[in-house]
Each structure stands twice: as structure tokens, then as C-alpha cells.
């Protein structure tokens, strides 16, 4: 099993999210059993969304863990907020979001939110 852990900077910027995406691409490229390009793009998209949400709503810092299982890639993001993501009506005019969590749930085989001491872990299981 291939695993990797990446700490995302506390800076709330595109650089932190871009770094997480690049780390995910690097992880996927290094797998012993590569995944299809479309599946890799999906993993990177979910990483981008979960890390963005963690930085925006989870206290400004997070940890990204990627794990390759035989049939799945697991994306897990740990942050300091106890608040679980929630489905809400997307804001089409004000730019306050509401699109990401539903998208992650549609792309993933399964999602989970686990409370832990000092925050939570949001994870998504994606097809290889």
C-alpha cells in the first residue's frame, strides 16, 4: 500500500492549495500501479476542494493524507474545526460557495467525517 502525508501551510492562499494539488499529482505519479488520467484528475479535484474547505472553514491549517488501496484512493484532510461540512443551496450570485461538498459526494464512492481530538477528518474514497 502506498501512503503519503502532506502538511499544508497556514497561509490562506492559492499557493497552499496549489501545493496540495501538486503533492497529490506527485503521489499518484509515483504509484507502483498507476491510475488512469481521468481518475487522477478526479483525485486532484477532490484534494483541491477538501483542502480549500479546510483552510477556509477549519482554522487555516490542515494535513492532507493520501492512501492508495488496491481499488481506491483515499483522500483524508484533518483540520482543527469540529464543524462537519454540510450540504447547502449553492450561492449563484454572492460568491459564498456551496458547490464543493455536493461535488465531492458525487465524485466519491464514499465520504466520511470523523470527529477527533482537536478537530475532524473529512475523507473521500475515490475509484482508482
Q: What DSSP letter does each residue of the chain carry, written as one string?
A: -EEEEEEEPSS-SHHHHHHHHHHHHHHHHT-SS---HHHHHHHHHHHHHHHHHHHHHSSS-EEEEEEE-SSEEEEEEEES--PPP------SSS----SHHHHHHHHSSEEEEEEETTEEEEEEEEE-
Q: How far is it, in rounded angstroms, from Cα 128 to Cα 78?
A: 22
Q: How far is it, in rounded angstroms, from Cα 103 to Cα 81?
A: 21
State how beta strands 110-116 and 62-68 pair. Answer: unpaired
| Domain harbouring 47, CATH code | 3.30.565.10
Confidence of residue 85 (pLDDT cuts 50, 70, 90): confident
**pLDDT tens-digit series, residues 10-56:** 445 667 899 899 999 999 998 888 899 999 999 999 999 999 999 88
Decide if 87 contacts 99 (C-beta within 8 A). Answer: no
**pLDDT tens-digit series, residues 99-114:** 789 999 999 999 999 9
Q: What is the pLDDT of residue 9?
A: 42
Backbone angles phi, psi at 48, to 5 degrees: -60, -45
Which residue range is the domain that position 102 belongs to?
Answer: 2-127
Domain count, the chain: 1
Amino acid at each position: 500500500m502506498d501512503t503519503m502525508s502532506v502538511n499544508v501551510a497556514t497561509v490562506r492562499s492559492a499557493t497552499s492549495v496549489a501545493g496540495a494539488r501538486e503533492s497529490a499529482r506527485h503521489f499518484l505519479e509515483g504509484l507502483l500501479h498507476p491510475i488512469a488520467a481521468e481518475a487522477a484528475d478526479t483525485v486532484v479535484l477532490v484534494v483541491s476542494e477538501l483542502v480549500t474547505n479546510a483552510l477556509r472553514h477549519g482554522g487555516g491549517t490542515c494535513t492532507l493524507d493520501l492512501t492508495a488501496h488496491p481499488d481506491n484512493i483515499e483522500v483524508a484532510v484533518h483540520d482543527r474545526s469540529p464543524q462537519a461540512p454540510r450540504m447547502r443551496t449553492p450561492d449563484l450570485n454572492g460568491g459564498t460557495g456551496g458547490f464543493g461538498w455536493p461535488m465531492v459526494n458525487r465524485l466519491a464512492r464514499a465520504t466520511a467525517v470523523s470527529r477527533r481530538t482537536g478537530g475532524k477528518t473529512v475523507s473521500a474514497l475515490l475509484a482508482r
